[in-house]
Amino acid sequence: MFFYLMAGVGLATVIFLMFLGMNPLPLLVVLAIAWLVMSMQGGRMSAGKLGQKQGANKGDASAIPTTRFEEIGGQEHAKNELKEALDFLLHQDRMLEYGIRPIKGILLAGPPGTGKTLMAKAAAHYTDSVFVSASGSEFVEMYVGVGAQRVRGLFQDARKAAKKNEKKSAIIFIDEIDVIGGKREGGQQREYDQTLNQLLTEMDGIRVDEEVRILVMAATNRKEMLDPALLRPGRFDRHILVDLPDKQARLQILSLHARNKPLSPEVSLEQVAQDTFGFSGAQLESLTNEAAIYALREGKKQLEPAHFQAAIDKVMMGEKTDREASHEEKMRVAVHELGHAIMAESVQPGSVSCVALAPRGQALGYVRQHPGQDRYLYTREELEGRIQVCLAGAAAEQLILHSKSTGAQNDYEQANRYARGLVQSGLSELGIIDPDLISKERLHETTTGILNDLYSKTEQQLMRYRALFDECTAILMKEEVLTGEEFRQLLREKTSA
């Protein structure tokens, strides 16, 4: 209403000046500047009110989570470490007896989809605390000072919500904290810096004698980007790694997500856990959901092993596509994938789960492998074996079809990464080196030598299985899928012959 009134007064004044024969341009410039300034102030006030409204909604009693640690599969080490830190919030009397200052912040760091947000909610349930959450992006605004104002409002809302619900503690959870907590660099002051400074100030202001004890929890998958002032003791006192689950943890997660699904007696979740090395908790949840969808599509009353295998392929590589390759392309893809499979079985027997010719995502075919036991360290021989598996596709094309194709591009990139890993780990002929002091030409020369030598060895090994290609290619061209057991049976027959 005020803007409309001012616009009317301005218009009347301009008309009056024109009637008197005076130039209204200076007055129009002044009015435009005044309107722009008032618009910015009004936008800032609206943003501040929006932040207060969001904070008030988050502090409602309905936001108190019911998630328990028992409902989170795996992550036993992270959960135990988090519980130990939360016990300081639960047993304040014992903490005072030993003169222990309260923990102000807990940082959960790890890859996406590993359950950091779930663990923060479980922490609030474990400590019977009010849970107030926000995302780092909510504090980023074009108006100066809005982010800092929202940080203040977040802490105020947490205290109000705790008192309203008669709780002695509150947990503030900030997801993707790297958005506002990135390293501050010299030069021009940024809006992010003001928001971070306000967060640091609020965390320093958490006092022992407050009526409501506040614990700040934050999550990030880019811990290295955070400002050192945020990571020091007294701010985020505990840094807990929430990593990708190992095989036992994957089995627990699968069991939790499969509880409400009708599984066939033939389904082995332990086998599924073994086949899903490198999967996060979110991917495992998606896997069980996709398996149920496949069963629904086929009208099956129970989830069968084939449904889980199809779900693994979909989570890893995407849904099947409608791309129809020519007969020549299919033949080349079949030979390429069989090269990978034969070398994988030579390097690590029993590792091939299936060989498929069906296009998924950007791939026209694929070989799915499982590593057996989860591995985190590799010897030179093991890395060289992985390089040979990568090169085997192109080597098989050259051996059987007498030419190569662009389908090996990703294989070469992966083989180069393994070769550089060999050099940087001190496992090459260069010995222990400082990668920063090695020229690019020397590094390229060494890695190329490793790749060329292993490519020759790969060709020689594949020549021993020349007869196997014809039989397996015929099956793939007809059925499009060759299971690991079927492939190994054919491999044993040709090897014994």
Catalytic positions, written as ranges: 337
Measured between alpha carbons, how far is 107 from 235 in angstroms, rounded to an integer?
A: 10
> How far are the Cα atoms of 184, 192, 193 from residue 188, in angstroms, in the given order?
10, 11, 10
The DSSP line for 56-70 is HHHTSGGGS----GG
> SS3 for 45?
helix
Residue 487, both tokens: 């492939």
Other CB atoms within a 10 A radius of the CB of residue 222 amount to 13
Instruction: Give the count of alpha carbons within 13 A of 209, CB side only.
Output: 0
User: 402: burial class by Cβ within 10 Å (0-12, 13-18, 19+)?
Assistant: exposed
Angle, CA of 296, 298 and 300, to the nearest 5°: 70
Q: Which of 65, 118, 123 is nearest to 282 (CA)?
A: 118
Q: For residue 195, which of 131, 139, 237 has the smallest C-alpha distance?
A: 139
DSSP state of 392: H
